[in-house]
Amino acid sequence: MEFKTDALVLRAADYGENDKIVTLLTADRGKIAAGMKGVKKAGAKLKFAAQPFCFAEYVLASRGERNTVVSASLHDGFYPLRERLDAYYAAVCVLEACDKLVLGETAEADGREILLSAVHALSGIAEGDSAFLLIRFLTEALALSGFPLRADVCAACGKPLGDRLGFDFKDGAFCCAECGGAAASKSTYLTLRAAMGLSGERSADGEKRALRLLRVYFNAQTDSDIPSLGEFAAFA
């Protein structure tokens, strides 16, 4: 049986002498693995479709639990991502987050929304402003996966937040200093609010701190890491 789907390549691994196995985040089947035959040969027509960051319409043949890519039509390869180290590592962070948040085949809406968010983020990162767009993507993807952040009033007492803040990594919420939580800066809070489309003011310091907070929060909620965030911090 063959089926067609829009998909983003999250990972690609060599298989045998000339083949690859790709991990695809699809619009309607969640995350699936698929074989691609002969794509390591010189001049292979589908070589482009076996590369991370490739966003394309894939036609796959399915037999039991095995999928094989039959053809692909490119939507976007996001090639400018390879021209700047900060953009490249930010984009890798997007793929790693998708890979960890979508565990396998999932509901159509869940896969589609995260895919659309990832594609939008990659497009923006390719043009510039990598740190803020990565923060925006991570907050969106976490919310779509059931781990939203709260950045309004104190999550414990409901009072307005002042300059001294805490962050509850269990509940993903900011709180006032009196109610506890891990110490968090006002610049982190304001940058995250801006990324979430709320009133806030982003800053370079806030972006670095927000990325560190998001990495710890991601780990706390998913029991997994985004390793490339460390490399990205060196170039951001």
- Token representation of residue 202: 């982003």
In whole angstroms, what is the distance from residue 204 CA to residue 80 CA? Answer: 23
Cβ partners under 8 Å of residue 82, min gap 6? 88
Mean per-residue pLDDT over the chain, rounded: 92
pLDDT of residue 16: 86
For the CA atoms of 48, 50, 53, 57, the dihedral, rounded to the nearest 10 degrees, stands at 80
Counting beta carbons within 10 angstroms of the beta carbon of residue 17, is it exposed (0 to 12), middle (13 to 18) or buried (19 or more)?
exposed
Q: Rounded to a whole number, what is the distance in angstroms from the first to the last CA of the chain?
A: 45
The one-digit pLDDT tens for each residue of the chain (236 residues) are: 899 999 999 999 999 899 999 999 999 889 999 999 999 998 899 999 999 999 999 999 988 889 999 999 999 999 999 999 999 999 999 999 999 999 876 554 567 899 999 999 999 999 988 999 999 999 999 999 999 999 999 888 988 998 899 999 999 999 998 998 899 999 999 999 999 999 889 999 999 999 999 999 999 999 999 999 988 887 76
pLDDT of residue 111: 76
Share of the chain above pLDDT 90, in %: 78
pLDDT of residue 235: 72
- In the 3-class helix/strand/coil scheme, how is the chain assigned residue by residue? CEEEEEEEEEEEEEECCCEEEEEEEECCCCEEEEEECCCCCCCCCCHHHHCCCCEEEEEEEEECCEEEEEEEEEEECCHHHHHCHHHHHHHHHHHHHHHHHCCCCCCHHHHHHHHHHHHHHHHHHHHCCHHHHHHHHHHHHHHHCCCCCECCCCCCCCCCCCCCEEEECCCCEEEEHHHCCEEECHHHHHHHHHHCCCCCCCCHHHHHHHHHHHHHHHHHHHCCCCCHHHHHHHHC
pLDDT digit string, tens, across residues 36-87:
999 999 889 999 999 999 999 999 998 888 999 999 999 999 999 999 999 9
The pTM of this model reads 0.93
